[in-house]
Structure 1
Amino acid sequence: MNKVSLTALAREQLETARAASSGRSSHTVYGGHEHSLRQTLIALKAGSALDDHESPGEATLYVLQGRVRVTDADAGWEGSPGDHIVIPLSRHGLQALEDSVVLLTVVKRVGPHV
């Protein structure tokens, strides 16, 4: 069993994001290339973004802190603490409207069929 304080990790990653030229920082909470389930804590300084990118497959975003906006070609969704957003399967982006921390959960296929 492994226990991680998302509150403490969010605080650390947000400090790192504020100091980074990109305005963002991330840390893998669980998973990696050998796992189907991957969870990544992402911290974004206000005004920073993850530019449009292809969908990783089934994914959700849980807002821990701040306010974010997820957009695709057709729509946009704002999230604040406690909001759970299903990531669109289309190309999409993420913008931080305030200093923000989110937990990205992705399920990917692993093994020789990939």
Structure 2
Amino acid sequence: MQKVSLIASGRHHLEHAQRASSGRSAETIFGGHEHRLRQTLIALRAGQSLSEHENPGEATVQVLSGRVLLRSGTTSWNGSPGDLLTVPPGLHTVDATEDSVILLTTVVAQASPPGSPEA
């Protein structure tokens, strides 16, 4: 078992994001390339974004601190601390309207094995 303080980690990464030229800092809390489930803590300085990218499967954004705007096409959703936003399929962006820390959870679709009917 592993225990991680998202609050302490978020505070650390937000401090790093405030000093970084990119205005962001991130750490994979759970998962990785060998897992389908992946949880990534992301800190964004106010005014910074995760530029438009594709949803890798199923994903949620949990706002731990600050405020963010999740945009997909012409639709957008505001996120405040405690909010859980479901990331829509397709292209989307996340904008930090305040210094923010989010927990991005993704489940990458499993590839069909070679020779299966879905392949």
Deviation of the 1:109 alpha carbon: 3.6
* Aligned sequence identity (%): 54
Q: Structure 1 runs of 4+ off > 3 angstroms?
A: 109-114
C-alpha contact (below 8 Å) 1:26/1:43 kept by paired residues: yes
TM-score, length-normalised on structure 2?
Answer: 0.91
Equivalent in the alignment of 1:83: 83
2:52 maps to a residue whose letter is D
d(CA) in 2 for partners of 1:86, 1:34: 23
Structure number with larger C-alpha Rg: 2
Equivalent in the alignment of 2:92: 92
TM-score, length-normalised on structure 1?
Answer: 0.95
Q: How many residues align?
A: 114
Aligned-residue Cα RMSD (Å) equals 1.5
Where structure 2 has 5 or more consecutive residues not aligned to the other structure, the ranges are 115-119
Any idea what the Cα deviations from partners look like across 1:29-76, whole Å, max 9, x if unmatched?
Answer: 000000111000000000000111111110000000000000011300
Secondary structure of the residue that 1:7 maps to in structure 2?
Answer: helix
Secondary structure of the residue that 1:106 maps to in structure 2?
Answer: strand
Deviation of the 1:17 alpha carbon: 0.5
Equivalent in the alignment of 2:28: 28
C-alpha contact (below 8 Å) 2:36/2:107 kept by paired residues: yes
Where structure 1 has 5 or more consecutive residues not aligned to the other structure, the ranges are none
